[in-house]
């Protein structure tokens, strides 16, 4: 460990061989060091205030830099350190200079001048960084002067090289001739070397020394500034990378809005399972955002550069769904004039999202099971199988276990899909998210419709929270859109407007929910069926019995809704 910089307030140390974690910030130490002023060694308590690393010293060793702040410095120590710092910045070292009186007279009290006896002393001055200018003369002969010059310039132990002035010639020799090719080569190779023939005038030496030391001090300060800027850029780069990663993550999860504990768990699970290629089943009621979760899983996975293809399995008849998913060969059926790749082939290297997987027929389930197990598809009317590399994410709002018990869902496919099940909570179970979602939808819809309002009143938000939202976030979004349209430009969305949008002032706190005794008498499958019937009947009433309008609000097509109405025993127009 050695000192790089020192002041009366602290010291910067370099510690080769250490790592940042070995010297925690706040650690206290007692520093013992000597100053080249002939005084006794000093012991000063200090503590680590910052750690810089890894850093390399001039010999290539890796370590850390430690910023140490002195806790208590006795007055006499502080005075010695202050004098040392002053002399450190303005010190001239003379080696074999032919006229020391000239140097003392030239520098006066501007610089501190010190004569060194031999090359070893000169090297100690330069190694310790105490000299800002070294003047080498030829009073002991040219060979010794050149040896000293080569020794100082070539030493790898010197970390911060000072300016060097080579004073050629003796006191009585007159102007010296150019002292050979070697010095010329050194002068051209090292910009910090200067040449001055002896004898010289006092003012000339003073001016030359002052320029040399100022150049040295500026270079030293520039070095410190460059180091500090480098550290600042490193910190900025790390901070930017962190912010970019958080921005990318938040951007990918942007639509999955929620501050509740339940949604924080959903966010954490999405981040955890997204990098794995395992199949995922997203379970949740209609409108809870199952497709948004699937898209987030795709964007956070290694398949992000591949396609994301979504298909609602309840939106098409079995034959059309077969062709859509697996493709068909030319001539497979009337109108099949060309070969056509299916969704699984089109999503090669990406993700396929199959919504409402519980509505698939048994035959389609068998074909899907082969894709999951073998990674193979066979087009309709073709005899060849094709390998596909796609990740499959499924979604359902039905209880697959109950469907297995009923015999309408394959047991082997059910267990194959159980690799990972991600359950989305309904909006009524995370009511603290309702205001956040409402404001999120309002902001987005305001830009879409170019119709600006001030926002929701507190009473309006409370009413929204009291509603049970059987259609979940999708129903809330459509309700916010209606509120936006009904609200005057620049006005506030109040409680009366919310009551009107929810239907003649009837909030869902007055909706009838089954009694506990009634719920106990039902099986889970019947309870889910009753709840599905209730949602559909409610939306039909709101749509005035118009099937197409109700289907749009529920996120399905008219054919799917009609099929469900027949299955649930609900008459169209009810």
What SS3 string covers 363-404? HHHHHHHHHHHHCEEECECCCCEEECCCEEEEEECCCHHHHH
Tell whether 346 is covered by a domain: yes
Query: Residue 69 forms beta bridges with which residues?
Result: 10, 47
**Predicted confidence (pLDDT) at residue 33 exceeds the cutoff of 80:** yes
Q: If you average pLDDT over residues 74-91, what whole number do you get?
A: 75
3-state secondary structure of 236: helix
Give the CA dihedral 343, 347, 353, 358, nearest 10 degrees.
40
pLDDT band at 297 (very low <50, low <70, confident <90, very high): very high
How many CB atoms within 10 Å of residue 410? 20
Q: Is the pLDDT of residue 243 over 50?
A: no
pLDDT at 192 exceeding the cut of 90: no
Q: What CA–CA distance (Å, rounded) separates 158 from 126? A: 6
Query: What's the rounded Cα separation, in Å, for the pair 54 and 66?
Result: 11
334, 205: one domain:
no
Whether pLDDT at 231 is above 50: yes
User: Smallest Cα–Cα separation from 119: which of 101, 91, 93?
Assistant: 93
Residues 131 and 65 in one domain: no
Give the residue, 103 or 232, on which the prediction is more confident. Answer: 103
Q: Does the residue 362 lie in any domain?
A: yes
Do 419 and 440 belong together in one domain? no
Which residue from 255, 285, 257 is spatially nearest to 470, judged by alpha carbons?
A: 285
Neighbours of 432 (CB within 10 A): 13
Is 439 within a domain? yes
Lowest mean pLDDT among 123-137, 260-274, 505-519, 533-547: 505-519
CA distances from 100 to 104, 110, 143, 177 (A): 6, 15, 20, 22
Any domain includes 243: no
Q: Which helix (H) or strand (E) segment is 460 a member of?
A: helix 458-466
> Tell me, what's the pLDDT at 138?
86
Lowest mean pLDDT among 49-63, 191-205, 242-256, 553-567: 242-256
Give yes or no for a contact between 356 and 309, defined as CB atoms under 8 angstroms apart.
Answer: no
d(CA 121, CA 115): 9
Are both 44 and 108 inside the same structural domain?
no
What local confidence, expressed as pLDDT, does residue 396 receive?
A: 92
For 224, phi then psi, to 5°, come to -65, -40
What is the residue whose two structure tokens read 């109950």?
402
Position 347 in a domain: yes
Domain count across the chain = 4
pLDDT tens across 447-463, in order?
888 888 888 988 888 89
Q: Is the pLDDT of residue 246 over 60?
A: no
Residue 104, pLDDT > 70, answer yes
How many degrees, rounded to 5, is the angle at CA 36 between CA 31 and CA 38?
Answer: 100
DSSP-derived 3-state class of residue 82: helix
DSSP run (H or E) holding 448: helix 433-449
- Mean pLDDT, residues 420-446: 90
**Does residue 81 have a pLDDT over 70?**
yes
- pLDDT confidence of residue 151: 78
**Above 90 in pLDDT, residue 248?**
no
In the block, tokens 């996975």 appear at: 301
- The verdict on 285 and 411 lying in the same domain is yes
Residue indicated by tokens 């709002």 = 397
pLDDT of residue 197: 80
Token pair in block for residue 543:
């749509």
Residue 21: half-sphere exposure toward Cβ, Cα within 13 Å? 0
* 3-state secondary structure (DSSP) of residue 477: helix
Q: Are residues 390 and 277 in the same domain?
A: yes
More confident residue, 370 or 204: 370
At 26, is the pLDDT very low, low, confident or very high (cuts 50, 70, 90)? confident
Provide the sign of the torsion angle of the four alpha carbons 504, 508, 253, 276, taken in this order.
Answer: negative
pLDDT in tens, 510-537: 444 444 444 444 456 677 777 788 888 8
Instruction: Indicate the pLDDT class of residue 89, thresholds 50, 70 and 90.
Output: low
Asked whether residue 380 carries a pLDDT value surpassing 70, the answer given is yes
- What percent of the chain is predicted at pLDDT more than 70? 83
The highest-confidence range among 122-126, 194-198, 299-303, 513-517, by mean pLDDT, is: 299-303
Residue 404 to residue 362: CA distance in whole angstroms? 11
Domain-located, residue 67: yes
Please tell me the distance from the alpha carbon of residue 463 to that of residue 569, in angstroms, as a whole number.
33
pLDDT > 70? residue 486: yes
319 & 195 share domain? no
Regarding whether 387 and 436 lie in a shared domain, the answer is no
Question: Where is the domain boundary, 396, 423, 450?
Answer: 423
- Measured CA to CA, the distance from residue 438 to residue 425 in angstroms comes to 17
pLDDT grade, residue 180 (50/70/90)? low
Within 8 A by CB and 6+ apart from 412, the residues are 369
Q: Which pair of structure tokens corresponds to residue 340?
A: 């056509």
Average pLDDT over residues 301-305: 89
Quote the distance between the C-alpha of residue 122 and its chain's center.
Answer: 51
Question: Is 447 within a domain?
Answer: yes
Report yes or no: 288 and 355 within 8 Å, Cβ to Cβ: no
Token couple for 484? 């936006």
What element of type H or E holds 438? helix 433-449
Confidence of residue 169 (pLDDT cuts 50, 70, 90): confident
Q: CB neighbours of 72 closer than 8 A, spacing ≥ 6?
A: 44, 45
CB 380 within 8 A of CB 337: no
Q: How confident is the model at residue 220 (pLDDT cuts 50, 70, 90)?
A: low
pLDDT value, residue 213: 65
Q: At what angle do helices 433-449 and 458-466 cross, to 10 degrees?
A: 110
Where in the sequence is the domain holding 158, given as residue range(s)? 90-223
The pLDDT of 485-501, averaged and rounded, is: 88
Q: Are residues 417 and 274 in the same domain?
A: yes
Of 166, 195, 223, the last residue of a domain is 223
Whether residue 197 lies inside any domain: the answer is yes
Q: How many CB atoms lie within 10 A of CB 185?
A: 10
φ and ψ at residue 439, rounded to 5 degrees:
-65, -35
- Domain of 203, CATH number, reads 3.40.50.2300
Do 308 and 272 share a structural domain?
yes
Classified as helix, coil or strand, 504 is coil
Please give the pLDDT value at position 350.
Answer: 93
Q: Indicate whether 12 and 99 sit together in one domain.
A: no
Average pLDDT over the chain, rounded to an integer: 80
Residues 188 and 310 grouped into a single domain: no
| Structure-model confidence comparison of residues 188 and 448, the more confident one | 448
Residue 316: band (very low, low, confident or very high) from pLDDT cuts 50, 70, 90: confident
Q: What is the pLDDT of residue 145?
A: 85
Q: How confident is the model at residue 426 (pLDDT cuts 50, 70, 90)?
A: very high
């Amino acid at each position: 460990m050695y000192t790089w910089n020192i002041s009366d307030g602290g010291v910067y140390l370099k510690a080769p061989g250490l790592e940042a974690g070995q010297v925690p910030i706040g650690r206290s130490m007692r520093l013992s060091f000597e100053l080249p002023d002939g005084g006794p060694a000093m012991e000063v308590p200090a503590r680590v205030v910052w750690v810089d690393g890894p850093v390399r010293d001039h010999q290539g060793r890796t370590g850390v830099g430690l910023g140490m702040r002195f806790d208590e410095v006795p007055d006499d120590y502080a005075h010695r350190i202050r004098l040392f710092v002053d002399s450190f910045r303005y010190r001239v070292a003379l080696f074999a200079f032919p006229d020391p009186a000239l140097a003392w007279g030239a520098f006066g009290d501007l610089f501190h001048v010190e004569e060194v006896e031999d090359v070893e002393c000169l090297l100690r001055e330069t190694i310790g960084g105490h000299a800002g200018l070294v003047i080498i003369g030829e009073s002991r002969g040219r060979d010794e002067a050149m040896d000293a010059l080569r020794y100082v310039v070539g030493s790898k132990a010197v970390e911060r090289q000072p300016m060097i002035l080579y004073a050629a010639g003796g006191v009585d020799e007159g102007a010296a001739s150019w002292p050979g090719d070697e010095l010329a080569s050194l002068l051209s190779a090292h910009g910090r070397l200067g040449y001055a023939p002896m004898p010289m005038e006092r003012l000339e030496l003073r001016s030359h020394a002052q320029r040399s030391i100022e150049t040295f001090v500026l270079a030293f300060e520039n070095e410190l500034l460059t180091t500090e800027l480098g550290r600042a850029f490193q910190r900025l780069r790390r901070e930017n990378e962190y912010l970019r990663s958080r921005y990318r993550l938040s951007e990918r999860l942007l639509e999955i809005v929620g501050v509740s504990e339940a949604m924080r768990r959903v966010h954490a699970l999405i981040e955890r399972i997204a990098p794995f290629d395992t199949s995922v089943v997203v379970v949740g009621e209609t409108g809870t955002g199952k497709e948004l979760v699937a898209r987030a899983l795709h964007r956070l996975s290694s398949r992000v550069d591949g396609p994301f293809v979504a298909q609602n399995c309840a939106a098409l008849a079995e034959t059309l769904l077969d062709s859509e998913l697996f493709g068909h060969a030319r001539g497979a059926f009337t109108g099949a004039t060309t070969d056509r790749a299916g969704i699984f082939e089109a999503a090669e290297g990406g993700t396929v999202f199959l919504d409402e997987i519980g509505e698939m027929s048994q035959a389609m389930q068998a074909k899907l099971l082969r894709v999951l197990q073998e990674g193979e598809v066979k087009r309709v009317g073709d005899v060849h199988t094709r390998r596909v590399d796609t990740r499959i994410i499924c979604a359902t709002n039905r209880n697959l276990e109950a469907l297995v018990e009923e015999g309408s869902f394959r047991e082997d496919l059910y267990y194959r899909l159980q690799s990972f099940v991600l359950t989305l909570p309904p909006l009524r179970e995370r009511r603290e998210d309702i205001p956040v979602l409402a404001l999120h939808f309002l902001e987005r819809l305001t830009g879409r419709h170019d119709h600006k309002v001030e926002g929701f009143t507190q009473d309006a938000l409370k009413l929204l929270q009291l509603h049970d939202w059987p259609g979940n976030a999708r129903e809330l979004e459509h309700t916010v859109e209606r509120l936006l349209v009904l609200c005057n430009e620049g006005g506030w969305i109040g409680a009366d407007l919310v009551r009107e949008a929810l239907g003649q002032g009837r909030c869902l706190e007055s909706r009838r929910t089954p009694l506990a005794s009634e719920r106990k008498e039902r099986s889970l499958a019947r309870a889910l069926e009753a709840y599905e019937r209730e949602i559909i009947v409610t939306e039909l009433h709101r749509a005035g019995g118009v099937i197409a309008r109700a289907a749009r609000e529920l996120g399905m097509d008219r054919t799917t809704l009609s099929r469900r109405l027949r299955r649930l025993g609900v008459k169209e127009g009810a």
